[in-house]
Structure 1
Amino acid sequence: MTFQVPVIDIAPYVAGGSAEERAAVARAIDAACSEVGFIQILGHGIDPVVQRGLADALDEFFALDLETKKTFRTPPGVNRGYSAPKSESLSLSLGVESASRMNDFFEAFNVGAAQSDYPGVELDAENYAENLWPVSAAPGFQPRVQAYFAEAKRVANTMTDIFADALGLPAGFFDAFTGHSLDVLRMNNYALPPGTVDLDGELTGMGEHTDYGIVTVLWADQVRGLQVLGADGSWNDVSPADGALLINLGDLTARWTNERWMSTLHRVKPPIVDGTIERRRSAAFFHDGDVDAVIATLPSCVSAEHPNLYEPVTVGEHIAAKLAGSRAGVSNAGAAREAARVLAAAAR
């Protein structure tokens, strides 16, 4: 069977569709989340001008010299600022010990929801760190990224509205878990200067991993590289259709649904053309939930045939273990189920 990522038009939830139209979208989302875990969405309502602005912002920052970019680094525990090539290993977020060196060659810049975005809420400074903007080095970066961040957040909230309907939950169910959500936009650049990577070796743009939170909204170039693990253990190339955003589920949604919906493993393998790495850009908006929210399996997803697979966990505990793997090189011992899928795929 050919692997396909379903294309779903969510306009009825964005532009005021009828109850019947919204129900049809919810059914399609339920099927996609159950069978694939990745979705392409149309009708999301993000202006192409805002998307082009994001692409221009990435170009402006990543064109800077490496030493300048490194001045915007933060400690591993702070999910903000610049990550240099080969400073991370996403596979370690799953506890896969074979990925014991920091070898992912992408570079990235992270911005996220800060303490100042949630006035009146007492939040810790590490999880809700203020952003580090390259104001003088890349003056067009901040306004363009902030414009896209706001739109991606709106799309993520729309997706959780659809999720509630698809799972038969009360309208607004996810609002109680996302009032001060740990939202992060990670902008990625897959390219390296000549001579900095051995093209004869096994290259990893971004190692195999699941996303950590509730839902991810991904903007990406139409360039090969993203690969998704199919149910048969095969890796499959995925590229967005014209005008589409890619949506995938995070670990917290898999926990909530007792794996009725799956947090799908994916990776980035570098496209190489005429002996050089073809540049690829992407920007992943991670909608992760409130740091103190407790995620426990939905009772409707537990039965005699499907016993509960997960103990309750706070969003903060779960995210901290994942980031300690990817950014600080500490293997995550709490991701045994995801790691088993990685190792099974590698054995094929």
Structure 2
Amino acid sequence: MHTSSDFFVPTIDISPYVLDGATAAADGTDRRSVASDIDYACSTVGFMQILGHGIPEDTVTGLASAMDSFFGLEPAAKRAYICPPERNRGYTAPKSESLSLSLGVESASGTNDWFEAFNVGTGEANTWPECAGFQRAVERYFAEAARVARTLTTVFADALGVAPTVFSDITDRSLDTLRMNNYALDPGLRVPDTELTGMSEHTDYGLVTVLWADRVPGLQVLGIDRRWHDVQPVEGAMLVNLGDLTARLTNDRWVSTLHRVRPPIADGTIQRRRSAAFFHDGNLDAVIAPLPSCIEPGDVARYEPVTVAQHIAAKLAGSRGGKANTSATREAERVRSAVT
């Protein structure tokens, strides 16, 4: 891992887009400032820290408690909730996925990822564990994260200078997924740092990701210097990053940034780390192609049109199905050029 005085993840207060009524009446200038800050973050880093999101603190603590109740079950009890990979729901056991295969790249460590996860999402396909209060707490957080994601796409439209319908038309039936992650090695287990990959290098698949995470080390982002940089959430912030579909829409004006997770290790022992990623991916039948306004004079469209369903299926076939994705050539090249 590396640090650099030139690398930072901007912190942006989006409250001018969250507040309603009289408070928002005079927010035109404030909104333009937020949109400008978002444009800068999306163009340079592809990650940002979001404050003013309005998610109640007790909703976040309720989610964390629900996650603890499930991940604290015995392994056999958790495995009862494993679903087929293409369903993208239920439980994922440690070392059963490799996120880097979603880019067609073998993990740098040569092993599958150490995290375990539980997925829920829109539609009727969810499976719910028999943990007291789990479904209620998770659904409450899911609704709040969905609100934040949709607020962000409103900011995106302003930042890009396009009509709000550019995003609303492709997200009114959005495939949204909440993936709750636990870095599953027992706390205190002594392990060699170099042999572990909590979550291998990958880009997110959809439009935008809203991430809650413990304020401990682990998350690393690939900078334009092709080096990995540590990122930890500031107090009360959600980490937000763009997915591949937004990079496609903007013809790479905005960045779908590669990131990974190293299990947090202090003095040779594993530390506890949890996260919950809300993926706002768009309507399955929506066709994603570069916006004409994002194709600069003299440039060309860098991506062929693809439906959300086609794109997500290719990604999941890699990460959850073990079949290397051969269509992510631009992202794979960035992984291979990174300084480990």
Q: Using the TM superposition, give the Cα deviation of residue 165 of structure 1 relative to its aligned residue in structure 2, in angstroms.
A: 0.4
Could you list the per-position Cα deviations for residues 209-251 of structure 1 after superposition, in whole angstroms to 9, with x for gaps in the alignment? 0000000000000010000000100100000101000000000
Q: Tell me if the contact between 1:161 and 1:172 (Cα under 8 Å) persists in the aligned partners.
A: no
Partner of residue 65 from structure 2, selected from 53, 56, 62: 56
Residue 206 of structure 2: aligned partner: 213
Which runs of no fewer than 5 residues in structure 2 stay unpaired? none
Read off the aligned partner of 1:56 and give its amino acid letter.
S
Partner of residue 26 from structure 1, selected from 28, 32, 35: 35
Residue 112 of structure 1: aligned partner: 121
Residue 237 of structure 2: aligned partner: 244
Partner of residue 319 from structure 2, selected from 326, 333, 345: 326
Counterparts of 1:222 and 1:165, CA distance in 2? 31
Partner of residue 256 from structure 1, selected from 249, 256, 266: 249
Q: Is 1:139 the equivalent of 2:132?
A: yes
Q: Is 1:67 the equivalent of 2:76?
A: yes
Counterparts of 1:160 and 1:245, CA distance in 2? 15
Q: Tell me if the contact between 1:227 and 1:268 (Cα under 8 Å) persists in the aligned partners.
A: yes
Identity of aligned residues (%): 63
Query: Secondary structure at the residue paired with 2:337?
Result: helix
Alignment: residue pair count: 331
Question: What does 1:177-188 align with in structure 2 at a 5 Å threshold?
Answer: 177-188=170-181
Query: Secondary structure at the residue paired with 1:233?
Result: coil
Q: Tell me if the contact between 1:87 and 1:102 (Cα under 8 Å) persists in the aligned partners.
A: no
Query: Secondary structure at the residue paired with 2:17?
Result: helix
Q: Using the TM superposition, give the Cα deviation of residue 273 of structure 1 relative to its aligned residue in structure 2, in angstroms.
A: 2.1
Query: Secondary structure at the residue paired with 1:131?
Result: coil
Which runs of no fewer than 5 residues in structure 1 stay unpaired? 116-129
Query: Secondary structure at the residue paired with 2:276?
Result: strand
Could you list the per-position Cα deviations for residues 176-230 of structure 1 after superposition, in whole angstroms to 9, with x for gaps in the alignment? 1011111000000013137989536421000000000000000000010000000
Counterparts of 2:208 and 2:277, CA distance in 1? 10
Q: Tell me if the contact between 1:60 and 1:140 (Cα under 8 Å) persists in the aligned partners.
A: no
The CA RMSD measured in Å over matched residues stands at: 1.7
Q: Using the TM superposition, give the Cα deviation of residue 100 of structure 1 relative to its aligned residue in structure 2, in angstroms.
A: 9.6
Which 4+ residue blocks in structure 1 deviate beyond 3 angstroms? 97-102, 193-198
Once the two structures are overlaid, the 10-residue window that deviates more, 312-321 or 268-277, is 268-277
Partner of residue 223 from structure 1, selected from 216, 226, 235: 216
TM-score by length of 2: 0.94
Counterparts of 2:302 and 2:229, CA distance in 1? 27
Counterparts of 1:343 and 1:91, CA distance in 2? 11
Query: Secondary structure at the residue paired with 2:239?
Result: strand
Q: Tell me if the contact between 1:92 and 1:100 (Cα under 8 Å) persists in the aligned partners.
A: no
Could you list the per-position Cα deviations for residues 264-288 of structure 1 after superposition, in whole angstroms to 9, with x for gaps in the alignment? 0000011112332111000000000
Partner of residue 170 from structure 1, selected from 160, 163, 167: 163
Q: Tell me if the contact between 2:191 and 2:269 (Cα under 8 Å) persists in the aligned partners.
A: no
Read off the aligned partner of 1:12 and give its amino acid letter.
P
Query: Secondary structure at the residue paired with 2:87?
Result: coil
Could you list the per-position Cα deviations for residues 26-64 of structure 1 after superposition, in whole angstroms to 9, with x for gaps in the alignment? 011001100110010100000000000011011111000
Q: Using the TM superposition, give the Cα deviation of residue 97 of structure 1 relative to its aligned residue in structure 2, in angstroms.
A: 3.7
Counterparts of 1:239 and 1:21, CA distance in 2? 26
